[in-house]
Structures are given as structure tokens and as C-alpha cells.
Homo-oligomer: A and B are copies of this chain.
């Protein structure tokens, strides 16, 4: 019955490296994005809203990041029949929108990245670029 267990934390350096790579990929795609990175407790570590990105996608990007960190899986894996009631019961941060990915390092989920302002596919593409920058496992492969 141990009182503690070892864990791993994403550093702010790691979060900023993810942010930079995600911005670079969004620029390649020509789609300005909101990019949010949270730790495994769902608390914001780093964020950017690129010039021209949709204002309200600030909140959707955060919801996607929190969802991925919470469930330790990509954000569009809920049963569609349950997605709205799950979101409401969870206080709205739980979302079944595409564009949130867990940050998996050394087999541990250390947080989530959420991207919002493009299409679902563009959002996922940018999130994956963020993961690649720190050698995190791609949960879609």
C-alpha cells in the first residue's frame, strides 16, 4: 500500500517545443490555429492563437487537449450516441471533436494537445506535428 507512485511531468520546454512545431506545421498548411497544451491534470501549460485563427476555437482547442489528457486517447473516440450527454455531465470540457491527442512519452500520458480552427483533419495533422517534436508516440499509428 504505497502512498506515492513515480510519475513523469511534461516540462514547459517540452510544451514550447510542441507549440513551435505545431505552428510551423500550421504555417505549412496555410491554416492559422489555436493550439493548447495541458499537463496530465488538465491544467494549461502553453497556448498560442495564431494570427487569423478563429476566436472561439480557443475554447474548443482547450477542451480537446483536456479530453485527450483525461482519457489518454485521441479526442474523437467516444460513442457518438453518448457524446453530448457525456460532455454535459462532465461540465462541457469533454468533447468528441477531432483535434485532441494525448502526449505519450515512455509509456506514460503526460498531457494533451488540442488544436482548433481548421478542419478536423487539419487540426489532427497539426497536433501530430506537436507530438513528433518531442518524440511522443503517435496515437494514430
Binding site for B on A (CB under 8 A): 1-17, 23, 39-51, 54-60, 63-64, 66-67, 69-72, 82-97, 105-106, 110, 134-135
Assess the B3–A56 pair: CB atoms within 8 A: no
| Candidates B9, B51, B58, B60; contact of A86 at CB < 8 Å | B60
Report Cα–Cα, A105/B5, bound state, in Å.
11
Given A4-B11, A50-B12, CB of A85 within 8 Å of CB of B90:
no
Assess the A3–B135 pair: CB atoms within 8 A: yes
Given A9-B4, A42-B41, CB of A48 within 8 Å of CB of B89:
no
| Candidates B1, B8, B45, B70; contact of A48 at CB < 8 Å | B45
Report Cα–Cα, A63/B45, bound state, in Å.
17
Report Cα–Cα, A55/B97, bound state, in Å.
18
- When distances are taken between beta carbons in the complex, the residues of chain B under 8 Å from A60 are 86, 89-90, 94
| Main SS at interface, chain A | mixed
| Candidates B69, B82, B134; contact of A3 at CB < 8 Å | B134
Given A43-B42, A51-B5, CB of A88 within 8 Å of CB of B95:
yes
Assess the B105–A3 pair: CB atoms within 8 A: yes
| Candidates B4, B12, B23, B42; contact of A55 at CB < 8 Å | B42
- What residue of chain B has the Cβ atom nearest to residue A39's Cβ? B41
- When distances are taken between beta carbons in the complex, the residues of chain B under 8 Å from A110 are 4
| Candidates B45, B57, B92; contact of A49 at CB < 8 Å | B45
